[in-house]
Amino acid sequence: MARKLLLLSAVATASVLALAGCSGPTAAAKDDGRIRVTASTDVYGQIVQAIGGDAVQVTSIIDKASEDPHEFEASVTDQLAINDAQLIVQNGAGYDGFMQQLVAARPKPSVPVITSATLSPDWPGGSATATPDGFNEHVFYDLRTVKSVASRIATDLADIDPADRPGFTSRLASFTAQLDALQAQQAAIAKKRAGAHAFATEPLPVYLITGAGLRNATPAAFSEAVEAGNDVPPSTLLQAKALLASGTIHVLIANSQAGGPETTTVIEQAKAHRVPVLEWSETLPSGLTYIQWMQRNLDELASALK
């Protein structure tokens, strides 16, 4: 309880400092004329940068591979970044739940908040911060959703700074064309290997692989347990191992930033039976743009399926 009270006090103090115009990187950003955008992760931060160019100042709250959005605990600095933002971009659907608390604690007038999950073609409706049953919240692996997110970012940036609208529109067109090329690559994979079976240790890559025509053959109880950080039931683990030994799985994809003993077990089983193993991340790999990241994933998938 003492720790919780201390955190609440710190956040309150941060809010007062923000209102008073405290010194530091956040306050300094106010003076350079750029639109201040805060994103929950560097994935969304990079997409904003691609659309906004030099007209935006982007802060990504999670920008390290060691940080898990599902379990992240926000700091006073993170609250300051939210307080100072003119536009906020989050994933929603329970993926980055810390954002809900930060936005709720923001003392300033409301600003546009883009919640990517609600732009998914599969979004079932309801509260943007809820976790709908059966909904895969990893929508940043869905090129269709990212296309909608990028469009919304361009619109909101132009509303904030109409003078820069032509630049936002031009960069959006370039980004969308690159997404179109990635979707064409998905279609090419589907043409060659439609119906190939994939084993995904977590739901993370499912949008990207199903968009490429693959069938997700993972036992639901396995991926649900791993994502929740729970033990995989012994019977489900045996089912997964038998599946990987059966010769019907063409590729296994694991989360390179998370896992456990059961994930290690199925990776070893896949390798023992010559099933290609790919490890994909959920935050942006160092030095890559969003487009380069997804391009690398699709290149690896195409190579594995050969």
> What DSSP line would sit under 209-277, residue for residue?
HHTTT-EE-S-HHHHHHHHHTPPPPHHHHHHHHHHHHTT---EEEEETT---HHHHHHHHHHHHTT--E
Determine the pLDDT at residue 67. Answer: 76
What pLDDT band is residue 31 in, cutting at 50, 70 and 90? low
Q: Residues 195-229: pLDDT tens digits?
A: 999 999 999 999 999 999 999 999 999 999 998 88
* The two three-digit tokens of residue 168, written as one number: 């936002």
CA 143/CA 132 separation, integer angstroms: 21
Asked whether the domain spanning 194-304 has the same topology as the one spanning 11-120+128-177, the reply is yes
Look over the chain and give the mean of its residue pLDDT values, rounded to a whole number.
89
Q: Residues 71-98: pLDDT tens digits?
A: 788 899 999 999 999 999 999 999 999 9
Identify the CA nearest to 210 among candidates 226, 192, 190, 227: 190
pLDDT of 6 above 60: no
CA 72/CA 55 separation, integer angstroms: 29
Q: Residues 135-168: pLDDT tens digits?
A: 999 999 999 999 999 999 999 999 999 999 999 9
DSSP-based three-state secondary structure for 126: coil
Superfamily of domain 11-120+128-177: Nitrogenase molybdenum iron protein domain (3.40.50.1980)
pLDDT of 26 above 50: no
pLDDT of 4 above 50: no
Q: What is the mean pLDDT of residues 254-281?
A: 94
Superfamily of domain 194-304: Nitrogenase molybdenum iron protein domain (3.40.50.1980)
Determine the pLDDT at residue 170. Answer: 98
Q: What is the mean pLDDT of residues 5-25?
A: 37
The CA radius of gyration of the chain, in Å to the nearest whole number, is 21
Residues 51 and 291: beta-carbon distance below 8 Å = no
Determine the pLDDT at residue 30. Answer: 52
pLDDT of 19 above 90: no
For the chain, the structural domain boundaries read 11-120+128-177, 194-304
Element (DSSP H or E) covering residue 59? strand 56-62
Using CA atoms, how far residue 180 sits from 184, 215, 262, 273, in Å, is 6, 22, 36, 35
Q: What is the mean pLDDT of residues 1-13?
A: 36
